[in-house]
Amino acid sequence: MGDGTSSGAAGGSNDRDSGDDAPATDRPPRVFVSYAHGSPEDDDTVRDLWIFLRSRGIDAKLDKPAAERRQDWPLWMLAEVRAADHVLIIVSPQYRRRSEGEAAADEGRGVQFEAALIREELYRDRPAGMAKFLPVLLPGRSVEDIPAFLGPYSTTHYPVTEISASGMEALLGVLTGQPYEVEPPLGEPWVRATRPVVVPDARVPGGTPLAAGAPRRPAPLVHEIVAEVRLADGWLTTRTVLADTVLGERGTALPLGLDTVWTAQPADPAGAGTYLSDAGHRLRDALFDAGTARHLTELIDAAPFGTVVDIVVEADGPALALPYELLRLAGGGGRPLVTMPGVRLARRVAGLSRQGMPSRVATPPLPGPLKILVAVAAPDETRTRNAPLDVEAEMQAIIDAVQPVAGTGAAQVTILEVAGLTEIADALGGRSAAGDAGYRVDDSYHVLHLSAHGSPSSVELEDEDGNPVTIGAQELVDALKGASRPLPLIVLASCSGAARTEGLAESLVRGGADRVVAMQTTVTDRYATDLARVFYAELATGRAGSVAAALAEARRRVDADRQAAARATGRLAAPEYATATLIAAAGDPPLLDAAAGRQPLARPFAAPAGGSVRELAMGDLVGRRREVRTALAVLRGGPAAVERWGAVAGVVLTGPGGIGKTAVAGRVMARLRADGWAVAVHVGRWNPPSLIAATAQALRGIPVPELVEARSALTDSRHEETDKIARIRELLGEHRLLLLFDDFEQNLTE
């Protein structure tokens, strides 16, 4: 407060004399600052304190703005003291002397008046006065400066070491009602374990005893730390909470380069490692004050064995896209936080729950085995401006990743041959796109593994002829919702799906997706495959529990293997530990319901082990899409095909043995058969009777009069073979009939 003609006030919450009847929880805390004018340096320190309080959402009042207009100072001081939730008494030798009546009547009238008001309220209701009037010691002050009526030695006072969140943490906690130490809730009453009872097995004389009361495996101790991060106009603010207790708050300008770290990192592995390490340290300093960083480090480094630390970054917009996986704490040897054992990191999109709307709830666990739907969208490279995806490599990577657990029955995979919106929705909805050989109505999936080019607002899928089909993020969300099936997890295997503000991953979560794993930058095929293999194994076996735990274990193990390989070979690999990220809408429960019975897929993918690959069904062909599409376009005909290839009626697949000609022919056959074509297969050396019999069999059951009559003629032994071959030639020109000659090289000569 001021002396003579001025005094000081600070506040909290809405002005109470404004008629606002809102409860205290609906308004910021109001604080009045009572101080004695002294040296300019002292006045400046009080002003800095006032500015800092207001920057932290505390409605602080000081006499300086009030002095800019004519005041009735006693009335002004009386109103401010009454309206304040707390009065901060900035103690000093001048304040103590004037408030205890040792100063002349004309010295520091403001302090003398305010002190009289404070003494009156303390005398009237001391418990209430103790909570309202807080002695504050700025740097350089001591307990000797506290007035006697405030109890300098018998009551609490609040030292301020510096004008910052860490320098006045205790005071900020009182003003905002956020204590550091809280009384934990009462747990279940302690029950002493009884001594195990050993019962001899009466069925086998001298047999192994049966022990009753075997102890259960204790659940791990889990700490969830939520960092609420906001970024606006280059100013980064963080509020860190542990178990409903605020650990600290931090506000600072966004460090230069943190929002472009992925595009600016050096190409060489050593330089990239140093660059990303520095970025992780700078991000730590930007997010956490010294006290919070120290608390996190102690929590992770000194926690008992088996302790789990879940770090959840709650943000949106530009703040959600920052590289949190690069974070490094001061302890732990400066290692990346996400590679430390027991640490799991995930992002949660802020603002999804709005007033009057139900909160988003994570999809509960579903019956096993782990079921993965794989869709790799790779339009014909001549029809898209995007770089072509290596479809065969993408699909083979998934097979390699899942094969170890698929062999045990813990996981099943369906690979879509056409990664189109309809095909994805049909598969997720249990509807078959290939007749009764495909999906069934009760099929459901835990994971959609989608690999496609995308943008912040769209993803490039395909149609069955290889044309690119741009699908908006909302269209994709609508299709997934239309499937009317829960889908706990989407994995975006393409590069940079989470790299930008409001990227595809965030758009999917905002649109209704539960959890999305995406990449923040480009990723090597080797790292992506290694990460997926461990990630899906952890999900399938249920060891990890949550998606964040599975991703953390995969990240840690792959990084450890890479470091071991680097030590053994002396060759560094590019650091990719921070590439993958998990973005969630709400919680992160396990994908698998261990208590439910198994609900396997009707026909999961299985690599053919012998037999004819001509019979590969929908989803079983890996790669060779361009050849399949070209063959189908030629055989189906139409103006576009005639213009491009001419009026041809057949396709010849050539190449060395073992490159997949039979597999391509088999897929063409399956696709045309699904469209209603009759398909006859001739294998090996030329055999007219075999061809005639196969054609007649293909026409069986087709209720078209001309085809019924033709089949009758082909099976009539009275007709010559030459007449039957001529009849087949006529059918080829008039009806949808396909003749497939497999292993035809047996008919070739030198």
- Mean pLDDT within 41-63: 90
The alpha-helical segments, DSSP class H, found in 3-154 are 40-55, 63-66, 73-83, 93-99, 109-124, 126-132
CB 555 within 8 A of CB 424: no
How far lies 553's CA from each of 52, 337, 426, 558, 588, in Å? Answer: 42, 13, 33, 8, 15
- Report angle CA 333, 244, 49 to the nearest 5 degrees: 80
The Cα 682–Cα 614 span in angstroms is 12
- Residue (of 349, 263, 315) closest to 584 by Cα position: 349
What is the predicted pLDDT for the residue at 456? 60
pLDDT band of residue 230 (cuts 50, 70, 90) is: very high
How far lies 103's CA from each of 98, 100, 109, 323, in Å? Answer: 5, 8, 9, 59
What is the predicted pLDDT for the residue at 145? 92
The Cα 253–Cα 233 span in angstroms is 9
Q: Listing from the earlier edge strand, what are the strands of the sheet with 235-242?
A: 245-253, 235-242, 222-232, 308-315, 343-349, 580-584, 515-519, 489-492, 447-451, 370-376, 411-415
Helix or strand (DSSP H, E) at 280: helix 269-287
The Cα 374–Cα 196 span in angstroms is 50
Percentage of the chain beyond pLDDT 70 is 79
Tens digits of residue pLDDT in 146-179? 999 999 999 999 999 888 888 899 999 999 988 8
Which has more confidence, 337 or 401?
Answer: 337
pLDDT band of residue 473 (cuts 50, 70, 90) is: confident
627: buried, middle or exposed (CB in 10 Å: 19+, 13-18, 0-12)?
buried
Question: At a CB cut-off of 8 Å and minimum separation 6, what does 580 contact?
Answer: 325, 517, 518, 519, 520, 523, 531, 551, 555
- Mean pLDDT within 503-528: 84
pLDDT band of residue 113 (cuts 50, 70, 90) is: very high
Angle at which helix 525-541 crosses helix 547-569, to 10 degrees, equals 140
Tens digits of residue pLDDT in 731-745? 888 888 989 888 777
SS3 532: helix
Chain centroid offset of residue 451 CA: 17
State if pTM tops 0.85.
no
> Which residues share a beta bridge with 348?
314, 584
Which has more confidence, 666 or 283?
Answer: 283
What is the predicted pLDDT for the residue at 15? 36
CB 395 within 8 A of CB 374: yes
CB 91 within 8 A of CB 141: yes
What is the predicted pLDDT for the residue at 386? 56
CB 415 within 8 A of CB 397: no
Averaged pLDDT of the chain: 80
What is the predicted pLDDT for the residue at 174? 93
CA distance between the termini of the chain = 108
- Mean pLDDT within 666-689: 83
The Cα 661–Cα 712 span in angstroms is 33
Q: Which amino acid is at 102?
A: E
pLDDT band of residue 591 (cuts 50, 70, 90) is: very high
What is the predicted pLDDT for the residue at 702? 86
Which has more confidence, 453 or 301?
Answer: 301
pLDDT band of residue 387 (cuts 50, 70, 90) is: low
Tens digits of residue pLDDT in 627-654? 777 888 888 888 888 888 888 888 888 8
What is the predicted pLDDT for the residue at 500? 57
In angstroms, what is the C-alpha Rg of the chain?
37
How far lies 154's CA from each of 149, 255, 744, in Å? Answer: 11, 45, 102
Q: Could you tell me the domains of the chain?
A: 16-176 (3.40.50.11530), 222-349 (no CATH), 370-584 (3.40.50.720), 624-747 (no CATH)
- Mean pLDDT within 224-243: 92
- Mean pLDDT within 216-243: 85
- Report angle CA 323, 565, 271 to the nearest 5 degrees: 45
Question: At a CB cut-off of 8 Å and minimum separation 6, what does 26 contact?
Answer: none
| Best-predicted range by mean pLDDT (76-90, 210-224, 706-720, 726-740) | 76-90
Tens digits of residue pLDDT in 479-496? 888 877 889 999 987 655
What is the predicted pLDDT for the residue at 426? 86
Percentage of the chain beyond pLDDT 90 is 29
- Mean pLDDT within 531-553: 89
Helix or strand (DSSP H, E) at 508: helix 504-511
Is residue 436 scored above 50 in pLDDT? no
Tokens of 214: 């075997």
SS3 90: strand
